[in-house]
Amino acid sequence: MAVSLRFRDLLIRRLMAPTPRGLSLSLRPMSSNAPEEAPKEAPDHSYESLRVTAAQKHILHVQLNRPEKRNAINKACWRELVECFNKIAQDPDCRAVVISGAGKLFTSGIDLMDMASEILQPQGDDVARISWQLRNLISRCQESFNVIEKCPKPVIAAIHGACIGAGVDLITACDIRYCAQDTFFQVKEVDIGLAADLGTLQRLPKVIGNQSLVNELAFTSRKMMADEALGSGLVSRVFPNKEDMLEAAFTLAEEISTKSPVAVQSTKVNLIYSRNHSVAESLNYMATWNMSMLQTQDVVKSVQAALEKKDLKSVNFSKL
């Protein structure tokens, strides 16, 4: 306790001290993170439609892994996304996730051939029972993307080629989005006779903050190219190709992984809460949250590293 109080006193004095003229803070560029060796399969992650590898220390790489089917999302994928991200949420070694698509594109959306019988010929003796079955189906599919948002570990979407239909539902549930120059995005549902029902209409307006543009994309199903996605705020960076994009995504994930997991995961939880609540409610939630989180030893360790001018990479934060 005495040590904690001493470091907190040092922190207060440091924060209150005037900044010398000409002193600026900058982030040094991280070293290249493209894995030189084939990444190892992550333990306890064996799936039909996904491939999960331990890309680097504290970082998992989740790939939509049906390249022969343009990564169309089938029944197995709906089920396995829930299983995968529930496991990641409870994995104390994981601090950041990169999700991408194997092959030529990110995803072509729902596998209509695989889902046709459940959508077009639902079981039930009457309208009420058929409707009940369809509602359960929609809710289960929604949960496949909700788990990404609810996972406390930051999830970075690395998108290339095409991101169509359910792919837009997926990436809007992620925390950060990068894409390659060849990428286009398409809210495709109106072209198959339905309204998008897995998150795009709910999350996309809050992601890009432009209701008119959301309406245009959703009503027409026109393609949004990479530069427009960058300008609208759907993605934060665009890269010349898939390889450069993945390297940047892993660099970002590595930087996130060096921070206190208590701080990072608390930040994600409160950012999502604040999106859906008023400022007053969110501040109250934040105060209640941090009245316990401020007591973490991560604060002491981070301040000590700053005072000693050490990189956070050298700090050994406990698992969470």
pLDDT (tens digit, 0 to 9) for every residue of the chain, 320 residues total? 444 445 445 444 443 444 333 333 333 334 444 445 677 888 889 999 999 999 899 999 999 999 999 999 999 999 999 999 999 999 999 999 999 999 999 999 999 999 888 888 888 889 999 999 999 999 999 999 999 999 999 999 999 999 999 999 999 999 999 999 999 999 999 999 999 999 999 999 999 999 999 999 999 999 999 999 999 999 999 999 999 999 999 999 999 999 999 999 999 999 999 999 999 999 999 999 999 999 999 999 999 988 988 888 888 899 99
Q: What is the pLDDT of residue 97?
A: 98
Alpha-carbon separation of residue 64 from 24, 78, 158, 165, 175 (angstroms):
42, 11, 11, 15, 17
Which strands sit side by side in the sheet containing 59-64, from one edge to the other? Answer: 40-41, 50-56, 59-64, 96-101, 155-159, 176-180, 237-239
Domain harbouring 299, CATH code: 1.10.12.10
Do 54 and 133 share a structural domain?
yes
Do 289 and 243 share a structural domain?
no
d(CA 38, CA 316): 26
3-state helix, strand, coil in the chain (%, to 5): 50, 15, 35
By DSSP bridging, strand 40-41 and strand 155-159 are: unpaired
Point out the domain boundary residue: 236, 257, 278: 257
Do 253 and 127 share a structural domain?
yes
Do 295 and 171 share a structural domain?
no
Do 241 and 141 share a structural domain?
yes
Strand partners, 98: 61, 156
Q: Which of 82, 231, 229, 75 lies closest to 170, judged by CA? A: 82
Q: What is the pLDDT of residue 15?
A: 38
Tokens 């008023």, located at residue: 278
Residue 272 maps to a domain = yes
Residue 223 maps to a domain = yes
Q: Provide the total of helices (H) and of strands (E) in the chain, helices listed first.
A: 12, 10
Domain harbouring 129, CATH code: 3.90.226.10
Do 66 and 98 share a structural domain?
yes
Residue 248 maps to a domain = yes
Query: The pTM is what?
Result: 0.86
**How far does the chain reach from its first CA to its final CA, in angstroms?**
22
Do 265 and 182 share a structural domain?
no
In degrees and rounded to multiples of 5, residue 77 shows phi and psi of -65, -40
Q: Which helix (H) or strand (E) holds 156?
A: strand 155-159
Point out the domain boundary residue: 257, 278, 301: 257
d(CA 112, CA 22): 60
Hey, how many other C-beta atoms are within 10 angstroms of the C-beta on 259? 19
Do 235 and 124 share a structural domain?
yes
Point out the domain boundary residue: 257, 286, 302: 257
Q: What is the pLDDT of residue 3?
A: 43
Residue 202 maps to a domain = yes
Do 218 and 192 share a structural domain?
yes
Q: Which of 39, 66, 85, 50 lies closest to 246, judged by CA? A: 39
Tokens 């604040």, located at residue: 274
Q: Would you give the DSSP letter of residue 110?
A: B
Residue 15 maps to a domain = no
Strand partners, 60: 54, 97
User: Is-contact 180 237, C-beta < 8 A?
Assistant: no
- Cα angle value 164/168/174 (rounded, 5°): 145
> The domain containing residue 286 runs over which residues?
261-314
d(CA 35, CA 277): 40
Do 286 and 210 share a structural domain?
no
Do 167 and 133 share a structural domain?
yes
Per-residue burial over 277-291, b = 16 or more CB atoms within 10 Å of its CB, e = otherwise: eeeeebeeebeeeee
Do 168 and 54 share a structural domain?
yes
Count of structural domains, the chain: 2
- Cα angle value 41/42/45 (rounded, 5°): 105
